[in-house]
Amino acid sequence: MSLFYKNLPDNAVVCLMSPTASGKTDLAFRLYDTGRFELISVDSALIYQDMNIGTAKPTSDELISYPHHLVDIILPTQTYSVANFVHDTKQLIEKTHQNGKIPLLVGGTMMYYMALLDGISAVPQTNEQVREQVRAWRDDAGNAALYEYLQQHDPIFCQKFGVNDTQRITRAVEVHLQTGRSLSSWQQTPKTAISHDAKWQWYGLCVLPDRVWLHERIAQRLQMMWKGGFVEEVIELLKKYPTLTPDLPSMRCVGYRQVLDYLLAIHHESVQHFIQDNLQNQSSFDKHHILTNHDNHTEIFAKKITKISPQSVDLACQDMKNRALYATRQLAKRQYTWLRQLADINKPTINNLTIDLFDSIKEVEKQLLQV
């Protein structure tokens, strides 16, 4: 079957999978312009409202011209699981086909793609009452108390993860409290994937671009983010959502984590309301190696902090940039690994799934648009 968009069957589901900053969004816009596709975001950062610059989210004008499903669907203080994503995507695929269009899934969260194409275990969703119970327990007694509970009720989990993995620990405790069964045992149940449904024909397009080229793109995009007001965006988030903490998934997104670390390191006024409650996180900031350079944010923050010299702010700001660049490159490295794993599930026994590898977005463009 040709990948030319006009030749795709009406029951097609197309997954455009590539690392961050590789150009997939621009291609998605061009495909949308053909009138054949609806866009479904596969990005665990774009789901958050008010997180725009650091997520490289399409602009408001672009989202009007090129509407995306699963963008801006929750607040930064809320959570959204892989199971939530699979459930919502299944419904969106069905609605898109009913509209006479082809779903184009585009984004870089490979764990989401793996859940769609390879499946997930039937771990139940946590109800809000249990989630609040565990959150209150963690806030009162700390991670160590939850971890001690898991050592008794889910020792297999504790063999894999340490006491500082707040997000996973919280989820494991929630599951056991709600079901009376360990998360590890749930994860051993057979996986189910919506891609196994024979009524849909899936096309996975895995792009593995040249790493040197991609690293240059990442650096260029980060420079645009800093100039575009990324730091100020995080400050506004902290003002608008005073319950934001470093442990929330939104603040663990690449880039946001580093900006938040920076604000904590310079004792910025926007983090004073929880800086004392997160001393365990502060300890990592003291270990950072500060590099020298000038930054245009120095004067802004030097006026807002006390006991920190302008030179220290300048150094900390450059350190933030260096760590954000490194973290984004590490994210891309993990995405390459996931893409190779996704390519491995292209089994002959799954007749309705085809996964192809490409060296660049341009190659995909040639296949889909025949340009």
Which residues fall in the annotated binding site for substrate? Answer: 20-25
Give the residue from 137, 181, 207 showing the smallest Cα distance to 360: 207
- In angstroms, the Cα distances linking 244 to 51, 225, 248 are 13, 21, 7
Residue whose pair of structure tokens reads 């993860």 in the numeric block: 161
Q: Which residues are annotated as a binding site?
A: 18-25
Residue 253 neighbours by CB under 8 Å, 6+ apart: 44, 45, 48, 51, 54, 55
Could you tell me the two tokens for 142?
């700390």
Rounded to the nearest 5 percent, the helix, strand and coil shares of the chain are 55, 10, 35
Q: Which residues are annotated as a binding site for ATP?
A: 18-25
Distance from first CA to last CA of the chain, Å, rounded?
18
Residues 17, 25: Cα–Cα separation, whole Å: 11
Q: Which 8-state DSSP code applies to residue 192? A: B
Residues 260, 325: Cα–Cα separation, whole Å: 15
Q: Which 8-state DSSP code applies to residue 120? A: B
SS3 357: strand
SS3 138: helix
Residue whose pair of structure tokens reads 């040709």 in the numeric block: 2
Q: What is the largest CA-CA distance in the chain?
A: 66
Q: Are 106 and 28 in contact (CB under 8 A)?
A: yes
Task: Report DSSP letters for 214-246, one per residue.
Answer: HHHHHHHHHHHHHHHTHHHHHHHHHHH-TT--T
